[in-house]
Amino acid sequence: MTLRDSATRIGRAGMVVTWVALAGLAAVYVRALEYTPVEVNQGAAQKIFYVHVPAAWSALLAISITGLLSMLYLWLKDRRIDLAAAASAEVGVAFATVMLTTGPIWGKPIWGTWWTWDARLTSTLFLFLLFVGYLVMRGVLVDPGVRGRLSAVIGIMGLILVPFIHLTVYMFRTLHPAPIVLKPSAPSLPPVMLVTLMSSLGVFTLLYIGFMMQRYALGLLHEAREEELAHAS
Amino acid sequence: MRALVRAAWHIALKDIAIEWRTKTAFASGLVFAVLVLAVLFFSRDPTAVSSQDIAPGALWVTFTFAAMLGLNRAFLLEREMRALDGILLTPVPKAAIFWGKFGANLVFVGTIEAISLPLFVLFYDVPIWIQLGELVLVIAMATIAFVAVGTLLSAMAVRTRYAELMLPLLLLPFLVPPLVGGVQLTARLLEGRPLSDLGGWLRLIGAFDVAFVTLAALLFPVVLDE
Amino acid sequence: MPPSADVVLSAAGIARRFAYRPVLTDVALTLRRGEVLLLVGPNGAGKTTLLRVLSGLLHPSAGHVNRPGAIGMVAHEAMLYPALTARENLRFFARLHGVDGRARVDELLEQVGLASRADDRVGTFSRGMLQRVAIARALLHEPALLLFDEPLSGLDATASRTLVELLQTFRERGTAMIIVSHEMERLGRVATHMARLAAGRLGPVESLAGRNAAAVFADLMRGDL
- What is the DSSP code string of A164-214? HHHHHHHHS---SPPPSSSSSS---S-HHHHHHHHHHHHHHHHHHHHHHHH
List the helix and strand counts (H, then E) for chain A. 6, 0
Amino acid B109: pLDDT: 94
The reply to whether A78 touches chain C by the CB within 8 Å rule is no
Residue C13 lies in a domain: no
Substitution target in B174, B204, B214 with the highest count of A β-carbons within 10 Å is B174
Amino acid A111: pLDDT: 74
Number of domains in chain C: 1
Number of domains in chain B: 1
Amino acid B141: pLDDT: 97
Cβ–Cβ gap B81/C77 under 8 Å? yes
The shortest C-alpha distance from B23 to chain A (Å) reads 30
Residues C62 and C13 sit within 8 Å (Cβ to Cβ): yes
Asked if the model's pLDDT at residue A157 lies above 50, the reply is yes
Asked if the model's pLDDT at residue B197 lies above 80, the reply is yes
Amino acid A173: pLDDT: 57
Cβ–Cβ gap A137/B176 under 8 Å? no
Contact list in A for residue B161 (CB cut-off 8 A) is 140
Amino acid A182: pLDDT: 45
The shortest C-alpha distance from A170 to chain C (Å) reads 44
Tell me the whole-structure pTM to 2 decimals: 0.91
Which residue from C87, C89, C127 is spatially nearest to C110, judged by alpha carbons? C87
**pLDDT confidence band for A184 (50 / 70 / 90):** very low
Q: What angle do CA B192, B195, B200 make, to 5 degrees?
A: 120
Range of the domain at B49: 2-224
Q: How far apart are CA C193 and CA A160, in angstroms?
A: 54
Smallest CA–CA distance from B75 into chain C, residue: C81
Percent of chain A with pLDDT over 90: 58
Residue C49 lies in a domain: no
The shortest C-alpha distance from A226 to chain B (Å) reads 20
Mean pLDDT (10-residue bins), chain C, 225 residues: 75 93 94 93 91 95 92 95 96 93 90 93 94 95 95 90 92 94 87 92 89 81 60
Which residue from B68, B30, B33 is spatially nearest to B157, judged by alpha carbons? B68
Smallest CA–CA distance from C18 into chain A, residue: A143
Cβ–Cβ gap C19/A229 under 8 Å? no
A touches which chains (3+ CB pairs under 8 A)? B, C
Residues pairing with A95 in the sheet: none
Cβ–Cβ gap A150/B159 under 8 Å? yes
Residue C100 lies in a domain: yes
Q: How far apart are CA A196 and CA A32, in angstroms?
A: 6
Residue C152 lies in a domain: no
Smallest CA–CA distance from B24 into chain C, residue: C83
Helix H or strand E encompassing C47: helix C47-55
The shortest C-alpha distance from C59 to chain B (Å) reads 6
Residue C32 lies in a domain: no
Smallest CA–CA distance from B14 into chain C, residue: C92
**pLDDT confidence band for A154 (50 / 70 / 90):** very high
The reply to whether A41 touches chain C by the CB within 8 Å rule is no
Range of the domain at C104: 81-143
Residue C123 lies in a domain: yes
Amino acid A131: pLDDT: 94
Residue C70 lies in a domain: no
Contact list in B for residue C83 (CB cut-off 8 A) is 18, 21-22, 77
Average pLDDT over residues B117-136: 90
Asked if the model's pLDDT at residue A39 lies above 80, the reply is no
